[in-house]
């Protein structure tokens, strides 16, 4: 089994109050190994070198807890979760979270269900496109936090994710170096969909790699017409 040397990032996590115990460290190692094994038969990630997985996947996702207030037992939906980032990492670090992993590609959820079973963790996996989920009363405005990482440009992502957030909750977009430019183009989308003005918090991974958390609180219900269906979101972003 590959050792991802999770111990290397434990002090960083402790610096912002996140304690990774032996159970969490072991679970991250198992998750990393399953990611690499399954990636040989399906496209889950381009990042497979252990050191890269440790920093660009695990630490990147764990910085969520540095920048976002996550109440005990918070309901979180990871929209377009892919290989489980950030949702699976958040659940491993904080098993108290009530997590939903949503993706439009079922084979990714097959992988995530296998990971959950292996780690003895519970989360809801939903095979559904975001625009369909945002209209479904089972998911619409049911979450304390809606989050997404590397899914779409920000104006499009707002329409995918904000409908899931309950009033008073937060939408968290995890972005890279272009975060400021994307935020400038999404101001109208936040307003239309019911959010306050977003704030941006910049982080730097090793080797000066830029990361950013764009966080917005939801102040009013999303109008019923959103999210729009089909290709309208991408073709005519808010």
Tokens of 58: 């695990």
pLDDT at 66: 97
Output the pLDDT for position 204.
87
For residue 39, what pLDDT is reported?
Answer: 94
End-to-end CA separation in angstroms for the chain: 47
In a domain, 28, yes or no: no
User: Is 212 domain-assigned?
Assistant: yes
Element (H, E) at 154: helix 154-161
Q: Give the count of domains, the chain.
A: 1
Give 203-212 contacts, CB < 8 A, sequence gap 24+: 203/63, 203/66, 203/67, 205/55, 205/56, 205/59, 205/60, 206/55, 209/56, 210/176, 210/177, 210/179, 211/60, 211/63, 211/174, 211/175, 211/176, 212/174, 212/175, 212/176, 212/177, 212/179, 212/180
Residue 8 forms part of a structural domain: no
Please indicate, yes or no, if residue 174 is contained in any of the structural domains. yes
In this predicted structure, what is the pLDDT of residue 229? Answer: 87
pTM for this predicted structure:
0.96
Helix, strand, coil proportions of the chain in percent (round to 5)? 45, 20, 35
Q: Which of 153, 210, 160 is nearest to 184 (CA)?
A: 153
What's residue 209's pLDDT? 85
- Res 171: pLDDT: 98
18 within domain boundaries: no
How far apart CA 19 and CA 7 sit, in angstroms, is 11
Digit-coded pLDDT (tens) for 19-77: 999 999 999 999 999 999 999 999 898 888 999 999 999 999 999 999 999 999 999 99
State the pLDDT at residue 152.
86
Q: Which is nearest to 195 in space by CA: 167, 176, 214?
A: 167
Q: Which of these, 35, 7, 160, 18, lies nearest to 94 by C-alpha position?
A: 18
User: Domain residues for 161?
Assistant: 67-235
Domain of residue 156, CATH code: 3.40.50.150
Which residues of the chain are under the pLDDT cut of 70? none
Question: Does residue 14 lie in a domain region?
Answer: no
Contact 199, 206 (CB under 8 A): no
Output the CA torsion sign for 209, 200, 231, 43.
positive
DSSP 18: -
- Hunting for tokens 């304690």 — which residue is that? 19
| Domain membership flag for residue 95 | yes
Q: CB under 8 Å to 173, separation ≥6 — which residues?
A: 147, 148, 154, 157, 158, 161, 213, 214
* 188 domain-assigned: yes
């Amino acid at each position: 089994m590959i050792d991802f040397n999770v111990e290397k990032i434990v002090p960083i996590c402790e610096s912002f109050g996140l304690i990774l115990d032996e159970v969490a460290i072991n679970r991250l190692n198992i998750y990393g190994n399953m990611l690499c094994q399954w990636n040989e038969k399906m496209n889950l990630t381009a990042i497979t070198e252990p050191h890269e997985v440790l920093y660009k996947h695990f630490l990147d996702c764990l910085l969520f807890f540095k920048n976002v207030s996550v109440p005990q037992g918070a309901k979180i939906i990871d929209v377009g979760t892919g290989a489980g980032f950030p949702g699976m990492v958040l659940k491993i670090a904080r098993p108290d979270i009530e997590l939903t992993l949503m993706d439009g590609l079922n084979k990714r959820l097959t992988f995530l269900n296998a990971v959950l079973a292996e780690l003895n963790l519970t989360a809801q996996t939903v095979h559904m496109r975001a625009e369909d989920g945002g209209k479904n009363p089972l998911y619409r405005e049911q979450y304390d936090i809606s989050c997404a990482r590397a899914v779409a440009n920000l104006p499009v992502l707002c329409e995918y994710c904000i409908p899931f957030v309950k009033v008073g909750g937060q939408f968290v977009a995890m972005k890279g170096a272009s975060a400021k430019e994307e935020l400038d183009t999404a101001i109208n989308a936040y307003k239309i969909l019911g959010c306050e003005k977003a704030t941006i918090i910049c982080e730097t991974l090793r080797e000066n790699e830029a990361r950013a958390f764009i966080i917005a609180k939801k102040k009013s219900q999303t109008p019923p017409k959103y999210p729009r269906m089909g290709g309208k979101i991408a073709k005519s972003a808010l």
